[in-house]
Structure 1
Amino acid sequence: METERLTLRPLQPSDVDELRRLHADPEVMRFLDPAPVEDYLGPSFHAAVEKASGRFVGWFEFKPVGEGVVELGYRLHREFWGRGYATEGGKALIERGFTTGEVQRVVATTMAVNAGSRRVMEKCGLRHVRTFHVDWDEPLPGAEYGEVEYALTKEEWQQG
């Protein structure tokens, strides 16, 4: 799948070193719990590669979480923050999901204090649905403010 500036393709075992480098950046992981890199090599995860340079930008998740519901996620190398890549990739996956699949609703969650990710969700057309609290074994700084859920339905997207 291609956007104006990105190629999105399935993550592959050959991407493991890039994934480890991405997940080793404390600023990238500031609002996230780490998971084993191998967890990202499933069909729901897409490598984002910058078309102009061929560089690994990060990854996008578009994972089924219920009947007709998918979860949007993303994680980019810091050097690519602020360039609109997260919004570009997110919008492309949402459009493909609503136009070619059985997707009826897209959801995304983040920590309430993660303003950057919340902006991306909003730019992708998702709206704030709720704030909720989770009891984490080892809460990250800011966890006391809760988590937020954003969502977009196919009908809202079509009207947008």
Structure 2
Amino acid sequence: MLTTDRLILRQWTEDDFAPFYRMCSDPDVMEFFPSRLTEEESDAMARKIQSLIQERDWGFWAVELRGLDKFIGFTGLHMPKANLPFAPCVEVGWRLAKEHWNRGYATEAATAALHYAFEQLVLDEVVSFTAQTNQRSQAVMEKLGMSNTGENFMHPDVPDDSTLREHVLYRITRSEWQEKYTSHFE
């Protein structure tokens, strides 16, 4: 479990599955994904995330508001599929329910996840990627101190005819992280 001033990043529970499904069926939340998830797909994804955290002690943690025990989405670290042109790697990612956007929660939670990546896992770098048209996520990446690599790629899991196929790739190294955040966590 990781904590920030306003958030708790923790292992998933069965109580998270219903709000996760509502989030994954919201057209605004899923705007930059090829499709919304069915309840079965959403539950399967939550169970997979839960099992990966159980195996490794890290992953896409469930995020809740401190003191409210309210699931608002997920943020954390993941090893994406090997079919990406920059794999193997570890990515930082997030997905929050729409009513929790524009409050800095994604940046706050992802900052904690990056701290874990560089200080606990001692990774050399972390990446993040999204559809080229997803300006909101790119803004979070930039707030985190990540840099656009200029190495756009066609996501192999997005249909060829989709406007979401072209993705941008952002990256931050451990030394860049330490330069930006060392005093933040002292």
Partner of 1:78: 98
Shift of 1:56: 1.4
Query: What is the distance in 2 between the residues matched to 1:134 and 1:92?
Result: 27
Partner of 2:147: 127
Shift of 1:138: 6.5
Query: What is the distance in 1 between the residues matched to 2:161 and 2:7?
Result: 34
Structure 2 unaligned regions, length at least 5: 54-58, 81-86, 181-186
Query: What is the distance in 1 between the residues matched to 2:91 and 2:64?
Result: 21
Worse overlay, 118-127 or 6-15: 6-15
RMSD: 2.0
Q: What residue identity is the alignment partner of 1:22?
A: M
Partner of 1:29: 30
- The counterpart of 2:159, out of the listed 137, 151, 159, is 137
Question: Does residue 39 in structure 1 map to residue 60 in structure 2?
Answer: no
Partner of 1:19: 20
Q: What is the count of residue pairs matched by the alignment?
A: 157
> Does the aligned pair in 1 maintain the 2:127–2:170 contact within 8 Å?
yes
Shift of 1:137: 2.6
Question: Does residue 157 in structure 1 map to residue 163 in structure 2?
Answer: no
Partner of 1:61: 76
Query: What is the distance in 1 between the residues matched to 2:159 and 2:95?
Result: 23
Query: What is the distance in 1 between the residues matched to 2:90 and 2:179?
Result: 19
Normalised by the length of structure 2, the TM-score is 0.76
Partner of 1:6: 7
Normalised by the length of structure 1, the TM-score is 0.88
Worse overlay, 82-91 or 98-107: 98-107
Query: What is the distance in 2 between the residues matched to 1:139 and 1:49?
Result: 36
Worse overlay, 117-126 or 9-18: 9-18
Q: What residue identity is the alignment partner of 2:25?
A: A
SS at structure 2 position matched to 1:143? coil
Question: Does residue 102 in structure 1 map to residue 122 in structure 2?
Answer: yes
> Does the aligned pair in 2 maintain the 1:131–1:148 contact within 8 Å?
yes
Cα 1:70/1:17, change in 2 over 3 Å: same
Query: What is the distance in 2 between the residues matched to 1:15 and 1:117?
Result: 23
Worse overlay, 109-118 or 29-38: 29-38
Judging by fraction of residues, say which structure has more helix: 2
Q: What residue identity is the alignment partner of 1:94?
A: L
SS at structure 1 position matched to 2:90? strand
Query: What is the distance in 2 between the residues matched to 1:52 and 1:154?
Result: 32
> Does the aligned pair in 2 maintain the 1:98–1:104 contact within 8 Å?
yes
Judging by fraction of residues, say which structure has more strand: 1
